[in-house]
Structure 1
């Protein structure tokens, strides 16, 4: 069945409101009673979109995983960037992580749960990653996951699920996810917007749509914890449960029931967007970071903004940013990637120009050429390898800087992951909060190329047209006055 678009405001009016204070209190009590350490495997660095004052680790060596278990937080993130690697690389990675997590938890006698934090528009190596994690939990911890819970709701990014259909908001219009540009992803594309059918599609029929359970909006809005708990208890053999949601309170009601069932000794794996992590972790709301908290007036060098994402929203945000005064713009021609000599010459040009403008106190925006560049071989992994080669080059622009920029903003999931881990050499970073809704800011660690610098991780598909311009304003002491 082909789903149709619908009005978000009309949909919200059609469901009852909550006693929000009561829902929050009941959820807080349930989360406080839960003893699980939450390990979040983030397939790009945007998964910290809803949290603050937790740590992100960029490797999963046994000693690093042990450090995470001892860091004093209920939630710890591990940046896998698995959306930027091949399926086989992701499989090996998740085997290693699952083994290390099981060992650290076993040594401490700590129960744990793993959340596979994924793209809110349903892209990624699914069902591979959670299937591998299920295997490692069973093999190394003796835990059989009863089921998998799928929660792509993410309000800040305009992602809603109703009647089991996942939507992407464009203003007040909810567009079925399978009809958006994200569903046409050359590596991770899909057809289905109904999440039950999406599960069947992605698992090749191993888990038929008819067998996928779902928590309805009606059950959530009535706070029918008994009905939700019953569905959770019904999961077996790694069967799937979808959670519909239009608000964070919907997630809170679900998590209240979830914690109760986990307390009975049942085990689940999670494939979710960022909101579930925040609620399960008991992380409080925090307003967006202010210019006073972010702007470094002592360093008079310019900052650098690196734009790798090619989704339409990013291109629109770049066009709005170009209207700002005082910025220097450099286009990087990634279409030269199949000619190694020409590609290296282009990269050197961009680095030298950026270095000069930053050193002169002018914030610089480096962006890839907006036209898509595809190999069109028919092999999705050929496209992925080309994307990785281009991302490596974009990353090296920051890695080659010898002058400390005032700030770094990276636009796009793969871009921001590679810049954080390889260019800035972060091993552990503290999540400061968000500069704008859904746009996280890390503080780099002592080991980083530029220690204790705010690093803005700007997802390609988040924010309105002026969002990137607003973020640059907040970071740039030499920038234009806010309008």
Structure 2
């Protein structure tokens, strides 16, 4: 269905200035975003991000006095037991650090805008962990998976993926076939029932529709205020102003003691803190090393990433391209293969930017857990390669494509423990970090989700950072 037809009966958009959201906020509050892969930072700027959650790390992040901070949990790459443990650990440390700083925490479980991830596990665990620390249970669990910048919108509780003006219910897209987190339902009410195994019935999920949202924050607050404790709310969103109207209402309810636990896609935290849509980062905003080329690492296997990789190679035929064979990284050939390819990358990067990608064959296991294990082993191979390249020939910049890939490259290969989110490389998508400590200081790190952008987006980001640094270019 064309998006214009989908929205034909929707109320007219409203304008909600970002400053109105900021005025509604409690200045002592801080949004702690538990990000299940690092791509959640792509919609914000000027905020601290952590890949570790020791007390000293949370103390550092809280000391920035930012309205929000991100903790990279990477739980989308973990099994349920490990994901649960990690969420509990972070809640405990974050609450201690916030109390020491005199701040109040609102927790955000940031996950995929195409509905992949550990739900309801993570919202259940966060609620339990909050209550275990003596705090009141969140009154509402609010679902805002929309990501308008990337074409993900929710209308009448049905979540859509919009490409070239055509809106497809997300349950009919390749993302719904995910080997680990697959699903059938596009209507968020049905999706909650599906994911909870019927524990939460469709009828118990409240749909917060555009008809309410576009009457303004007061109407939203009035509607939400009537809901029973523990209600899951599925939120319609088509644009930034829809999210801001919801944010103001939630701030109002929070002042009344009716707090919310948020399960959201990338842009909602920006709306919740009243941050303007950030400007795109320009090359002149960065201090790029000139002595070597950059490193582009592509691990994601979603069809969009494969198309973007093909477009990048077509746009830059002289750029060195090295393939990591996925099957060789999960058997006895692993060490020899990684050693040879790391040396090849280090040699090539002396002359210009290098593209490293995993073979495009998607290897799956017998079930979701087995498939996740294979994905982790392949991702750990990418990490080992990047770590070796960092020692042999530190690149001018690093771009990591894919959620698990970008998380592991950041925390394990580049050992980025703390960073500042500079801003997006493309409007609303693709995050650039500046590492604050460790061996990657001075190397801009670009986090590029597997499922965002158009076919030419990866090539555009590489061109922005690398220019024509191919040895045969020009």
Q: TM-score range by the shorter chain?
A: over 0.9
Report deviation, 1:293: 2.3
Q: Secondary structure at the match of 2:290?
A: coil
Q: Classify the secondary structure of the residue corresponding to 2:232.
A: strand
Residues 37, 111 of structure 1: 8 Å contact kept: yes
Q: Give 2:5's aligned residue.
A: 10
Q: Which residue of 1 aligns with 2:310?
A: 319
8 Å Cα contact 2:140-2:261 kept in structure 1: yes
Deviation at 1:395, TM superposition (A): 1.1
Q: Report the counterpart of residue 89 of structure 1 in structure 2.
A: 82
For 1:394, the equivalent position in structure 2 comes to 382
- 2-side partners of 1:450 and 1:98: how far apart? 28
Q: Does 1:202 align with 2:192?
A: no
Aligned residues: 469
Indicate the residue corresponding to 1:60 in structure 2. Answer: 53
In 2, Cα distance between equivalents of 1:25 and 1:248: 13
1:39, 1:113 within 8 Å by CA — same for their partners in 2? yes
**Residue 147 (structure 1) aligns with:** 140
Task: Provide the C-alpha distance between the structure 2 equivalents of 1:18 and 1:387, rounded to a whole number of angstroms.
Answer: 42
1:345 matches 2:336:
yes
Question: What is the TM-score when the length of structure 2 is the normalising length?
Answer: 0.95
Contact 1:12–1:246 (8 Å) recurs in 2: no
Alpha-carbon distance in 2 for matches of 1:135, 1:12: 38
- In the alignment, which residue of structure 2 is the partner of 1:3? none
- Find 1:371's aligned residue among 351, 355, 361: 361
Give the 3-state SS of the residue equivalent to 1:219 in structure 2: helix
CA distance in 2, matches of 1:445, 1:235: 43
Does 2:106 correspond to 1:113? Answer: yes
Distance change >3 Å, CA 463–CA 104, structure 1 → 2 = same
Distance, in Å, in 1 between the alignment partners of 2:464 and 2:385 is 23
| Contiguous gaps of at least 5 residues in structure 2 | none
Q: Is the 8 A contact 1:106 1:141 kept in 2?
A: no
Q: Is the 8 A contact 1:294 1:475 kept in 2?
A: no
Shift of 1:220: 1.5
Please give the alpha-carbon distance, in whole angstroms, between the structure 2 residues aligned to 1:235 and 1:353: 60
Instruction: Determine the structure 2 residue equivalent to 1:241.
Output: 233
Q: SS of the counterpart of 1:66?
A: helix
1:384-431: CA deviation from partner (whole Å, max 9, x where unpaired): 111101100011111001211111100000000000001110111110
In structure 1, what is the Cα distance between the partners aligned to 2:100 and 2:354? 48
Matched, 1:356 2:320: no
CA distance in 2, matches of 1:398, 1:258: 42
TM-score (ref. length: structure 1): 0.93
How far apart in 2 are the matches of 1:405 and 1:189?
36
Gaps of 5+ in 1: 1-5
One of 402, 406, 415 as aligned partner of 2:396: 406
Matching residue within 68, 71, 80 for 2:64 = 71
Distance in 2 between the 1:59 and 1:176 partners? Answer: 36
Instruction: Find out whether 1:48 has 2:38 as its counterpart.
Output: no
- The CA RMSD over aligned residues, in Å, is 1.9
Q: Is the 8 Å Cα contact of residues 58 and 427 (structure 1) preserved in structure 2?
A: yes
Local SS of the residue matching 1:300: coil
Aligned counterparts of 2:284 and 2:17: Cα–Cα separation in 1: 34
Match of 1:451 among 429, 435, 441: 441
CA distance in 1, matches of 2:426, 2:319: 21
The 1-side partners of 2:17 and 2:275 are apart by: 15
- CA distance in structure 2 between the partners assigned to 1:180 and 1:477 by the alignment: 34
Measured after TM superposition, the shift of residue 383 of structure 1 is 1.1
Q: What secondary structure, in the 3-state scheme, does the structure 1 residue paired with 2:43 have? A: coil
Return the offset for 1:256.
1.4
Report the alpha carbon displacement of residue 12 of structure 1 after superposing the two structures with TM: 4.2
Check whether the contact 2:18–2:271 (CA below 8 A) recurs between aligned residues.
Answer: no
* Residues 61-70 or 241-250, more deviating: 61-70
* Alpha-carbon distance in 2 for matches of 1:370, 1:426: 28
Q: CA deviation at 1:13?
A: 4.9
Q: Deviations over 1:99-132 (max 9, x none)?
A: 1122223334422100001000010111111111
